[in-house]
Structure 1
């Protein structure tokens, strides 16, 4: 539920704010391609498989599906930590988990390979750009896991020492990201349009993880409140009333 709602919020945000910028970028790319056409007009233009309205609907659906997939993976990771420490408060734990996931999956890769409007650039480099972005995501995930391990293993130390070591580890992960190759394809759009698109793209990720954290943490608090009366009854030593059904009492 948390992943689906987060994906829906990000999809509607992108549809209302980012898609108009994408349309401008597509029109700019089409105008640039027309400028480089031969004088005789021998270049053939292929019709798009899906209209822009269909692509808009597909954007929202794709983000909802992505949110559901993220929710499943997040729940598995959360359950593993919860088994080790079941008494932890679900609200700050959900916020901390989502902040770490946002850095690993969204922020760190975006710093190395900022988003570019779809359909802009050389189509022959799409595969290379996807592989580089996937490598950045893998490094980000493994790096945040290393940050968490450093923070856990320094538990006997003072809090400033633990936080400083974790921050230093995160900085080393960023340095490692810059060891990846540069983007081979320049983005031939105006700097203002590109900046706005990248900021809106990152904002959609922030919204996804914020809604996810709020819903997941809220459901966790609800589960804790539901278990509190049961735990209180067991602590008082009051057993649950037995249901004997049709069994006759023994005299």
Structure 2
């Protein structure tokens, strides 16, 4: 694929990521913010109970509250802060996914641009988020043990890296098996291998048993995790659709231009 075409796809991928980020922000704000607010309320209630149990006076409690006052207010965090984070995340991943699309187009089967974009988005959602989420699900802010946040972050990114590498290995193995088994059987065999090795990794990697404090409401935790999953699903679904349309237009335009140049350079019939 020509460098200028890849560059055009990269720009379209970032644009599609921006559009997807807008949809993801809407879901995060409507569905994700209520459980976040609930988790913060639980934390504040536990802190107040601990202060009361320890016998602190009202003046000491007020002083502690002033010391722990947030540098950025909660309304700003839940609007501008959330929007900025989700949009930057969407643009960055959109660009990376566009590069993956440029590599995958024509190499993973006889799929057109829209189908390849959909497959790229589905593969990215599965390897970058879903598989790591199943092993190390999302945790509401201010709920986990602060002493283990470094360990939990390392394990989560390790799971992302492992999942992506296993996904790439599955694609390569599937392509090599296709001439002998056929595309359908090769795909099933590669997918089965991916699931088996991933399951082994789930068993061998340590669990995050201390990721959530004891006594945290299970229903609120489940609501937060479903919201996190919904945000990612919407992000990648919208990206797959929008980028597929944009990529189709780019590639169709380049093909038409190439055909026009070839026709102009061809000798006229005698």
Q: RMSD of the alignment, in Å?
A: 2.3
**1:134-181 deviations in Å (ceiling 9; x for gaps):** 111111111111111111111202234212212212212233133211
Matches within 5 A, 1:61-76: 61-76=84-99
| Cα gap change, 1:32 to 1:85, in 2 (>3 Å) | closer
Q: Which residue matches 1:94?
A: 117
| Cα gap change, 1:86 to 1:102, in 2 (>3 Å) | closer
Q: Which residue matches 2:5?
A: none
| Separation (CA, whole Å) in 2 of partners of 1:88 and 1:112 | 32
Which of 247, 257, 266 matches 1:230? 257
Q: Which residue matches 1:169?
A: 193
Q: Which residue matches 1:152?
A: 175
| Separation (CA, whole Å) in 1 of partners of 2:107 and 2:172 | 14
Q: Secondary structure at the match of 1:22?
A: helix
| Separation (CA, whole Å) in 1 of partners of 2:250 and 2:56 | 69
| Separation (CA, whole Å) in 2 of partners of 1:95 and 1:83 | 14
Q: Secondary structure at the match of 2:32?
A: helix
The 10-residue stretch of structure 1 (20-29 or 159-168) with the greater mean CA deviation from structure 2: 159-168
Q: Which residue matches 1:52?
A: 74
| Separation (CA, whole Å) in 2 of partners of 1:49 and 1:66 | 23
Counterpart check, 1:185 vs 2:192: no
Bigger radius of gyration: 1
* 2:137–2:225 CA contact under 8 A, matched in 1: yes
| Separation (CA, whole Å) in 2 of partners of 1:178 and 1:110 | 15
* 2:118–2:240 CA contact under 8 A, matched in 1: yes
The 10-residue stretch of structure 1 (60-69 or 36-45) with the greater mean CA deviation from structure 2: 36-45
Counterpart check, 1:36 vs 2:63: no
* Runs of 5+ consecutive residues of structure 1 not aligned to the other structure: 241-251
Deviation at 1:86, TM superposition (A): 11
| Separation (CA, whole Å) in 2 of partners of 1:175 and 1:103 | 17
Structure number with higher helix proportion: 2
Counterpart check, 1:9 vs 2:33: no
**1:41-65 deviations in Å (ceiling 9; x for gaps):** 4563411121111111211111110
| Separation (CA, whole Å) in 2 of partners of 1:40 and 1:230 | 76
* 2:138–2:225 CA contact under 8 A, matched in 1: yes
* 2:121–2:240 CA contact under 8 A, matched in 1: yes
Q: Secondary structure at the match of 2:92?
A: helix
TM-score (norm 2): 0.81
Matches within 5 A, 1:71-82: 71-82=94-105
TM-score (norm 1): 0.87
Aligned residue pair count = 239
* Runs of 5+ consecutive residues of structure 2 not aligned to the other structure: 1-14
Q: Which residue matches 1:207?
A: 234
**1:51-80 deviations in Å (ceiling 9; x for gaps):** 111111211111110111112212222223
